[in-house]
Amino acid sequence: MKKLIVFDLDGTLAESKQAIDEEMAHLIADLLDILSVAVISGGDWSQFEKQVLDHLPANARTSNLSILPTSGTKFYRFTGQWAQVYAEDFSESERSTVLQSLDEAVSEAGLLETRIWGDQIEDRGTQITFSGLGQKAPPAEKAKWDYDHVKRNTLKALLDKKLNNFAVRIGGSTSIDITRPGVDKALGMRRLAEQTGIETGDMLFIGDALYPGGNDAPMRDAGISSIWVNDVAQTKLVIETLVKSNGGQVSLATTN
């Protein structure tokens, strides 16, 4: 029997950047009653608060919940209140190398946009993210900007040359993420094992991007038991099954 259920966030527990719905909030609480649960995502802590934590029922057993922002390079646990256990932040020199290279590469690639929404560069401590049109650009503008990946492939090629000691990845619809090499969700799972004392063999991962090249694929490549879901509705069915098969109770009738 698995002891710890790990979820991806966007596309799995909730629509991209949206809050979990009431049904999902109750299902997560039902699961927390009987098993340990973790959520891992490329987003930062504030995103987990907005999308998940603010919506859980007041009686949810959050002491059984681990939160792993920025692909597990940060780790939060609830001990009376939410507290950061660790953050593998860039050093000052790593940070300035990345920011300088990014400035150069963006202008060399001709991607200095005249109209942006919010900051184009976001420093998440353990990860620096470039968003072509800014963090808060409207989805319709984002969808048009680099639909064929040409802009980001150009930028990535320039960055790969300048940043030998870092990993440069294309993500989202307009963004590029820069981390230390080897930072992915599988590393997050190893950190989770260290923190909880639960071996990766006793974990089950549930995510929507387990296809080759997807940001959940490192889980499968690392040999972690995984369930590939198409959408939030399928995740609900999986949770309901997990709750019932582990002797728990579903508190709110599911509608699908």
Where do contacts with Mg ion occur on this chain (CB under 5 A)? 8, 10-11, 208-209
Q: Is 22 helix (H, G, I), strand (E, B) or coil?
A: helix
Instruction: Report the nearest approach of Mg ion to the CB of residue 129 (Å).
Output: 16
Instruction: Report the nearest approach of Mg ion to the CB of residue 171 (Å).
Output: 10
Q: How many other C-beta atoms are found inside a 10 Å radius of the C-beta of residue 11?
A: 20
**Cβ closer to Mg ion: 209 or 252?**
209
**Cβ closer to Mg ion: 87 or 209?**
209
Edge to edge, the sheet with strand 36-40 lists 82-87, 74-78, 65-68, 36-40, 4-8, 203-207, 226-228
**Cβ closer to Mg ion: 99 or 209?**
209
Q: Is 33 helix (H, G, I), strand (E, B) or coil?
A: coil
Compute φ and ψ for 150, nearest 5 degrees.
-65, -45
Kindly report the length of the chain: 256
Instruction: Report the nearest approach of Mg ion to the CB of residue 209 (Å).
Output: 5
Give 122's contacts (C-beta < 8 A, 6+ positions apart): 128, 129, 131, 135
Instruction: Report the nearest approach of Mg ion to the CB of residue 15 (Å).
Output: 10
**Cβ closer to Mg ion: 71 or 101?**
71
Encoding tokens for residue 227? Answer: 């369930």
Instruction: Report the nearest approach of Mg ion to the CB of residue 214 (Å).
Output: 8
**Cβ closer to Mg ion: 208 or 240?**
208
Torsion of CA 73, 79, 81, 82, to 10 degrees: 10
Alpha-carbon distance of 120 to 12, in angstroms, equals: 27
Residue with nearest beta carbon to Mg ion: 11
Instruction: Report the nearest approach of Mg ion to the CB of residue 172 (Å).
Output: 11
Do the Cβ atoms of 116 and 97 come closer than 8 Å?
A: no
**Cβ closer to Mg ion: 39 or 155?**
39
